[in-house]
Amino acid sequence: MKLALILAGATLLAGIVVAQNTQYKPDPKWVAPADAAAKKNPLAGNADALGGGKKLFLRHCAECHNGDGTGLQDAANLTLPDVQKQSDGSIFWKVTNGNMKVGMPPFARLSETERWQIVSFVRTLKADSSGTGK
């Protein structure tokens, strides 16, 4: 029992230390394939879907990207033009696949519809007026 607690504690602490990214760095290689980027959002303009997208964003994304999308230390500021200029298909692909190198988990366990709902909500996030982001 004692050994179990020691092992568990050591694993947990090691995991926490290993898991810390202290600064967000965009990954230039994290680019959606052309066919994925060209996909259109089937829920574009659907107000009901947008409300659900907000709920999903707050549940799954806000922990790292903040409720307003401005991002915490190691996650992207989704209000920046660099993000907003990407196509719906590209954002959908990034939500689906994640970028495990930098700690962004894939959200393929959400249904396709729910991922498009998140894309719809990301589109509503206001651009950062300072243009600096985080």
∠ CA 52-116-70, rounded to 5°: 75
Intra-chain end-to-end CA distance of the chain, in Å: 44
Q: Is 11 in the site for another protein (CB under 8 A)?
A: yes
In the region spanning residues 58 to 77, those forming contacts with another protein, defined by CB under 8 A, are 58-60, 63, 73
Query: Which listed range, 81-89, 98-106, 123-131, lies at the site for another protein (CB under 8 A)?
Result: 98-106
Measured from the CB atom, is 92 or 133 closer to another protein? Answer: 92
Packed helices 112-122 and 47-60: angle between N→C axes, nearest 10 degrees: 90
Q: Are 81 and 10 in contact (CB under 8 A)?
A: no
The stretch near another protein (CB under 8 A) out of 52-60, 84-92, 125-133 is 52-60
* 35 interacts with another protein by CB under 8 A: no
Inter-helix orientation angle 112-122/88-97, to 10°: 120
Binding residues for another protein (CB under 8 A): 1, 3-4, 7-8, 11-12, 14-16, 18-20, 22, 48-56, 58-60, 63, 73, 96-101, 103-106, 108-114, 117
